[in-house]
Structure 1
Amino acid sequence: MASTLPKTMRGQFLELYKKPYSLRHVPLPKPTTPHDILIKVDAASYCHTDFVLAEGQMPGLPKKFPHIGSHEFAGTVISHFDSPSSKASDFKEGDRVGVPGRAFHACGDCFECQGSNDPVAQDERGYSVHCIHAENNGLSRDGGFAEYAVVDARQLAPIPDALTAAETAPLMCAGITIYAALKRCKLQMGERVGIMGAGGGLGHLGLQYAVKMGYKALGIDASDGPLKLARSLETGARLVDARIEKAADVVQQLGVEDGKKTTGDMGLDAVIILPESQAAFDYGMALLKTHGKCVIVSFPEKGFHISARDVVFRDISIIGSLVGSNKMLREMLNFSAEHNIRAVAKSFSLSRLNDLVEDYHKGGGGKLVIDMALPE
C-alpha cells in the first residue's frame, strides 16, 4: 500500500496566532520510530483548546509555525515503520483507529510512565498519557487537520464497528475527558452529579454518559443554543437555566425530592466544571452537598477564585481532571457504542475549516467536525 501513496498531502495550517487557517500542500509525513504509524485521516474534530491555542493562550505552544491543529481525530492505518514495535504490529493496514492528542512518544522512563496509582490515568508500565516528556498531536506537534498524520501506536484505540470516523473523532478528546471526569467523581448508582456547561461539546456527552452510568444527572447552562441542544437529547436528565434559577432554590428542590431535611445534606454529590467563568464555578459549588466533590476540567487564563469556607467548613473536595488512560479510552469507546452515545455534531469539508471556526464562535453547542468524506 505504501508504494501507492501520494508524495504530498493537503493540510490546514495555522501560520500565526489570531490568524485564519491556510490550506496548502506539503510532503507526506513518514514514520520514524518503531511505534509510529501513518494513518489516513478520515475525520478530525475541533476543540475549545484549538481556539485557545490559536489565540496564543497556551505559552510555548505550538512549538513552531506553521502548525496543523486538532488533537481529536480518527483514521485508517496505512503503513508502519520498517521494523515496527509489538504495539504497532497490533494494528494492521486498513484498521480503523481513534487518535487522542496525548501522548505521542511517551518516554517510558519518567515517574508517570513507570507507574501511576491513579486508576483513571493508569496504563501498563512503560506508557502514560501524563508522560512529562511526551508530545501532543495538534498542540506541540501536527495533528489531524490534514489528509494524513503520523501517530504513536500506544495512543490508539480500535474503533467499534457501530461508530463511524466522524462519530469517533469528537470522543477522542471531548468524550474521554468528560468520561474520565465522571469516573473521578467516584459516585454510586443513583447519586447526583451536576454538569456545568451541559450543552457544550463535553457537557452534552457528559449528560448521556452520566445517565447511562446510572447517576441522577443535572445539566446546567446559561445560553439559549446549548440549552436547546441539551433538551433535544431527551436523556431524562434535569436541565437548569442558570440565568433564571438560583442555585439555592435548585438545592432546596433536590432536597425535597430526596426527602432531606438538613441543608447540608441537600444538593449534588459531585459537580463537573466545564465553563471557564467564575460565575459557573460559583454556581456549581453552591449546588454541592457538604462533603461533595468538585471536578474541574476547564483552565481559564486567570484561574478560579476558591472559597476557603467551602473547602474547610463544608469539606468540599476540589480536584482537576485532564484525560483518561488508553485503557479508559477503549472502555469509553465501547461504552459509547453499546449505549448509542453520540456527539451532536455539524460536519465540514477540510477546505472549510475557517467556516467551521466561524460557526464555533456562534456558540450553538455540540461539536464541529472536519469529515474527509464530504465533497469540497
Structure 2
Amino acid sequence: MNLAIRDIGRSAARFLLTAFGIGLLTSGSLVMQGIYRGIVTDATKLVRTVDADLWVVEAGTTGPFAETSRVPRSLADRVAAVPGIEAARAFALASETVTTGGRRQTASLLSLDLPDDGGWLPLQSGRLLRSAGEIVTDASLGVPIGGAVAVGGEMLTVVGLMEGMVEPSGDPMAAVTAADFRRIQAYRPPEAVELARAGGDSSTGEGAGLSAVTASVQPGRSLAEVLDRIRTWPDVAVLTRDDQLSLVINGRLERLRKQILLFTGLLSVITAAVVTVTIYAMTVEKQHTIALLKLMGARDIIVLRLILDQTGLLALSGIALGFWIEATVAPLFPRRIVVDTGAALQVSAIVVVTCLIGSVAGIWRASRIDAREALS
C-alpha cells in the first residue's frame, strides 16, 4: 500500500480526476437505483397500507392497479356475507384534475364509504373524514388544513394531511367520502350537458361503480378456505395482498426495472473502461520503475499488489465520492429516492468488481515488462 500511495502522489491529478469520474458514475447508479426503489415504494404504498387480506375484482382482470376493473356496489354486501370475512369495504380509485388556489393538477381520489373513515391512512396531521364535503390529501398537494380543493364541481375542505401517499407518477392521493366520490364522477360541465342534450342525449352523467371490494379475514380463519369459496363465483376474481404486490412490481413496473438494470449495466461498462485506461496508462508511465524493481529481485507479487492497491484506492475513493454526490443531489429531485443498505452494498460491490476487472490490463502490461529494460 505504501508503494501505491507514493506512486499515486506522483500523478495525483490523474488519480483524483479518475476517482471523481468513478464517483459520478457511482452516484448515477445510486440515483437510478434509488428512483426505482422510490417508485416501487410509491406504487405499493396503497396496497400495503389498505387494511385488506383479499381484493375482489372483475372477472378476467387483475385490477384495480394493473388494469381497469369495475364491479357492482352490491358486491360488498355479497363478500361481507361469506363465512370467515370480518369486514368488506368498497374500493374505488380515480384520477381527477383538482384546482387549488388557481393551480390545476392531477390527483388520485380514493373513495371511503363512511363509517369507514380510513383509519389505516398514514395521517401526518389533522383528522380523518367525518362527513361529506371533506377531503384528506397527501401533503405534496400543497394545501394546508382548512384550505379548499375544487374537484368535479365540488368544493371540499382539507381536514387532514397524509405522508407519502402518491402514485408511481408522483401525483398525490386524496381520500373523499363515497357520496362525494360519486358526485365527482357524475359531474359534467354545464356546457357539456347542453351539447349532449342538443345531440339527443338527455342523461346528465352517471357515477362510476367500484374498482374492487377489499376484505379482511377473521383471525383464526383459514385464508385458503375463504379464497376457494369466493373463487367459485363466475363474475369476479379474487387476489391476495401478495398477489397485488406481485402484479404491481412484476407487471406494471417490469419495463422500468429492465431500463434501470440496462442503465446500471452501461454505467458499469463505462466505469470498467475508465479504470482500464487509467491503470494501463499509470502502468506504462512507471514501466522503468517496475523493471528496476524486478532487476532488484522483487517478486511479481510485489508488482501485482502495487497495481491492485492502486485499483482498490480508486474504487474506495470513487465510492466515497459517489455517496457524497448522491446525498447532495438527492434532495433536489422531485421524486422520492430510496437508497437503503441493500442498494448501497449492491452498487458498492459492482464498483469494486468493475474496478478489479479494469485492472487486468495493467496487470497484463506489468507482467510483460522485462527486468533488462531498466538498463536501457
Shorter-chain TM-score bucket reads under 0.3
Choose 1 or 2 for highest CA Rg: 2
Higher RCO (CA-CA < 8 Å; seq separation 6+):
2
- The structure that is helix-richer by fraction is 2
Tell me the TM-score normalised to structure 2 length.
0.23
